[in-house]
Amino acid sequence: MSTLYVDRKGVSLRLDGGTLVFEEAGARVAAIPLAPLERVVLRGDVTISASLLGKLGQSGIGVLVLSGRKAEPALFMQRPHYDARRRILQWQRSLDSNFRLDVARDLLQRKVTAQRHFLLERAQDDLMHRYELRTAAERMDAACRTMASASTLAALRGAEGAAAQAFFMGYQALFAPSLHFSARNRRPPQDPVNAVLSLGYTLLHAEAVLQAHAVGLDPFVGFLHELDYGRESLASDLVEPHRCGVERLTWRLFRERVLTVEHFSRVQGACLLGKAGRQHFYRSWSDVSEGLRQSLRSTCLTLVTAVTGEEALEAPATVEGDDG
């Protein structure tokens, strides 16, 4: 399976049998088969037909639209899982404080462990910053021990906050001073590193929404993150153990100079990744996204098992023409 990225002004997409056709000014400029696709990401002034949207949904292909300069995400999702009982049990479990604490602890410990291992890996090679990296890892280890004994969600979140602060203290040492990256910031990002992290986290979150929806869970009802109007709290939960995939990729893109300061501009106080830089990013994202997608899928299915008390089975393939 693969992801299609369309980031080109004035392109129209339509369906021709089992083929996705690209047109510009009424002329056909490209075509690709629909069958291998699992995700479509659209950015910019792209036109897509209603029949194509319907076919993508029937085929289980999620569509992510990144609109405006800030790339605000909107999702068109595939058919939901047929077992609505999963969502009912999820809602019931979300009222169980002990269950919520257990799920939240597992997700956060996995995140902190992955980030800590990443810093220690880098400390082996980066002699100049070995002290900062190892110090950050030690603080994260202490926070992880506090998380293990936390008896409330508030205490767990407090320990996770300490771990996150320690992680970014070490993480920032991995980047050149010219990138002006000193801490995590967003809405809007203030430097190139945060701009790439934000884009990666956005794509990861969208994938978590699609995966939760596909296995029959409600993306809005979480266990770590509280209910909040308009927030996909479960998706926010699910991305936690997988954030390090975005952080590793971001570090590699700058280390290998796939992305440089020249790929960014500042617009209305925000640091934005330009079109040429986005092309580099999407190409690299494609290399890691399948692994992240499978990991998210595994996390979702494990959660389904915990919620229902039964082994989670994959949803049956959608049969074309099946309306019920």
| Per-residue model confidence as pLDDT tens digits over 4-54 | 778 777 788 877 777 787 887 777 878 888 777 777 888 777 887 777 777
Cα–Cα distance for residue pair 255/22, rounded to 1 Å: 35
Query: How many whole angstroms separate alpha carbon 206 and alpha carbon 227?
Result: 18
The answer to the question of whether 240 is labelled as a binding residue is: yes
Confidence of residue 178 (pLDDT cuts 50, 70, 90): very high
The 3-class SS string of 17-32 reads: CCEEEEEECCEEEEEE
Is 314 among the annotated ligand-binding positions?
A: no
Rounded distance, CA 233 to CA 94, Å? 11
**How many domains does the chain fold into?**
2
Average pLDDT, the chain: 87
Same-domain pairing of 224 and 146: yes
Residues 263 and 178 in one domain: yes
Tokens of 50: 């209603």
Where residue 68 falls among pLDDT bands split at 50, 70, 90?
A: low
Give the largest Cα separation in the chain, rounded.
Answer: 63
Residue numbers of the domain that contains 192:
85-308
How confident is the model over 69-77, as a mean pLDDT? 64
**Is 0.75 surpassed by the pTM of this model?**
yes
Which CATH number is 118's domain given? 1.20.120.920
**Any idea what the Cα angle at residue 153 is, between residues 149 and 156, rounded to 5°?**
45
Alpha helices in 215-274 (DSSP H): 233-239, 243-255
Average pLDDT, stretch 179-200?
Answer: 92
Q: Which residue has the tokens 């569509």?
A: 63
Tell me: do 23 and 113 sit in the same domain: no
| Mean per-residue pLDDT, 137-160 | 96
Residues 168 and 147 in one domain: yes
24 annotated among ligand-binding-site residues: no
The residue assigned the tokens 């997608």 is: 293
Mean pLDDT calculated for residue range 187-193: 92
Q: Determine the pLDDT at residue 67.
A: 65
57 & 90 share domain: no
Would you say residue 252 lies in a domain? yes
**Domain shared by 145 and 61, yes or no:** no
